[in-house]
Structure 1
């Protein structure tokens, strides 16, 4: 049975460390971690979560894009485990958009990210996958990959003027929907 894990918050040293490559994806602790990350992201209304966010220094994250209270316009996709992920190439176009993070509760920032990326990762079944990701899903991938490199979204914000509280962000969502 899967377990909801405790999420590490900004200030925890694991969030600022480079995560280790996973050598054997078939080990029971890795497969269990994948299941636990999926339920933890879902319970926290997250669209992605990286192993360091639950205190594990492994190069693994989940992308689980779906509409949530935090991201009402997110596309729907099955939760996908991405092991030892990397960006192979990216578009020249960079787009700024609002990001939040389960490890940085209550704050949003305007973060520049590549619009389109070509990625490679190993699936939980051991398959090497190549995909082109765009827009919101490309943003999630880049955000989660940063976690594996010890970077949080606040490091990417170009100005403190581009930070807002989650409450203010939610007000803007309501105002823009009316």
Structure 2
């Protein structure tokens, strides 16, 4: 396939097949039962991403996004798959992998000011509850979790980020 034709594919896509751009603001390191050391980091994550159109005739959507922490703590980029259940009101679970710039050391002693994730590559499950406000604009309350699922050690500090996203269908 000629890569020069890729932008034309986006222009030719119908609304049902087109993707969406999303942007979010999340509170980083919210204490939940899924994270052990969330108080180690703080700040706000600003995210920007893209969900591709549905795979085949499904609502399964591949996605990519990046999140930048405003206090210089852990930032990351993620890619995965999400599925949208519902139309005007919906639930969107997703699962992906992320690469981060935080500490990849194994968890040792809490209180050093950084979350030691134990791996540079982490699982990135997420869940959103949304409202499709117009044909193009959607608003979501979302939760994003990063962890290694105890694959790289017994301790798995993880991190939970909770916030809102705006989605714009192309």
* Bin of the TM-score, shorter chain as denominator length: under 0.3
After TM superposition, the score normalised by the length of structure 1 is 0.27
After TM superposition, the score normalised by the length of structure 2 is 0.28
Q: Higher strand share goes to which structure?
A: 2
Whose Rg is larger? Answer: 2
